[in-house]
Amino acid sequence: MPSVLVVDGANVVGSVPDGWWKDRAGAARRLHERLLVADTSYDEIVLVLEGQAKSGVRAGRDAHVTTVHASRDGDAAIRVEARRAVASGAVVTVVTADRMLAANVSPAQVLSPSWLLDRI
């Protein structure tokens, strides 16, 4: 059974106070680069970006990482991507610190940004 990791880019980038707010596009690009070389057990990683962060990484697929540009808010796009993956038969994990979002992505497992950052 395939496995998909859906990443809330804003939450992951925002979990580290490293000045990301001064360069949201650069922070998104750095996260994307780390995901590309990460040695994970997931078949696909979906990175959801919103706002200014979208200008840091083009939408589309690079190797096993698919970048999605949220048209409105990132949470809605994350819910759509999680549901799409579940509907395709994948085991889905969502990385976010947003409790409201976490409550709305069932049956996906939800893990914290720190969990992901410890692995990439």
* 46 SS3 class: strand
CA quadruple 57, 55, 22, 76: dihedral sign: negative
Look up residue 80 and give its amino acid. V
**For the segment 4-30, what is each residue's pLDDT rounded down to a tens digit?**
999 999 999 999 888 888 999 999 999
What is the domain class of 3-119 according to CATH?
alpha beta
Taking the C-alpha atoms of residue 29 and residue 71, their distance in angstroms, rounded to an integer, is: 18
**For the segment 57-67, what is each residue's pLDDT rounded down to a tens digit?**
999 999 999 99
List the chain domain ranges: 3-119
* 89 SS3 class: coil
What percent of the chain has a predicted confidence (pLDDT) above 70?
100
pTM of the model as a whole? 0.95
